[in-house]
Amino acid sequence: MLLIVGLGNPGKQYENTRHNIGFRVIDKLINDSGARDVSKNSFHGELFKTSNTLFLKPTTFMNLSGNSVQAVKNFYKIELEDIIVIHDDIDLGFSALRFKNGGGHGGHNGLRSIDLMVGKEYSRVRMGVGKPIYKSQVADYVLSNFSEDEEKILSKWTDHTSYAIKELQSKTLNEVKSRYSLKSFEG
């Protein structure tokens, strides 16, 4: 069983923010796969299932995402190497896409929480959202909406990313990395 986690914050006010790019991709994957809702309060998130894949949107808010991942991991007895986390990354330019296994959290509070609760050796799908000019602006920046110009690219970039994640279900991370990584989405 594969667990694919999209990071974000619950609530309408966060729906179109940079921090919620993981939720956008999960929504696309759920819609494309016809996954059924298997959520429980104990999962601390919205959980959807197909025959061999789980899709999770933690509803704990970003800083406590690890609570939700740990609950689902333990309930379904999922190995760490079978977890893929989709998240925003300010160290990559807007619409860049990178894949990696393990590593540090890079200051991302959602990853920090997951690392603390389940360990670090899971796969990461890093979606570049750009960064603000000053480090002191990071929190406001990731909680801001995408610009009009960025919105024009967003659905095609989300489609590309969701297709790459589907490929991860049957191909190695290195195969997907070499084929689907982007410096920026050219459409």
Which residues belong to the active site?
19
* Helix axes 65-76 and 109-118, enclosed angle (nearest 10): 40
Q: How crowded is residue 103: how many other Cβ atoms within 10 Å of its Cβ?
A: 13
Burial 30-66 (b: 16+ CB within 10 A, else e): beebebeeebeeebbbbbbbbeebbbbbbbbbbebbb
- Token output for 60: 């704990």
Got the DSSP string for 18-79? GGGHHHHHHHHHHHHHTPEE---GGGTEEEEE-SSEEEEEE-S-GGGHHHHHHHHHHHHT--
Task: Establish how many alpha carbons lie within 13 A of residue 123's alpha carbon, considering only the half-sphere containing its beta carbon.
Answer: 22
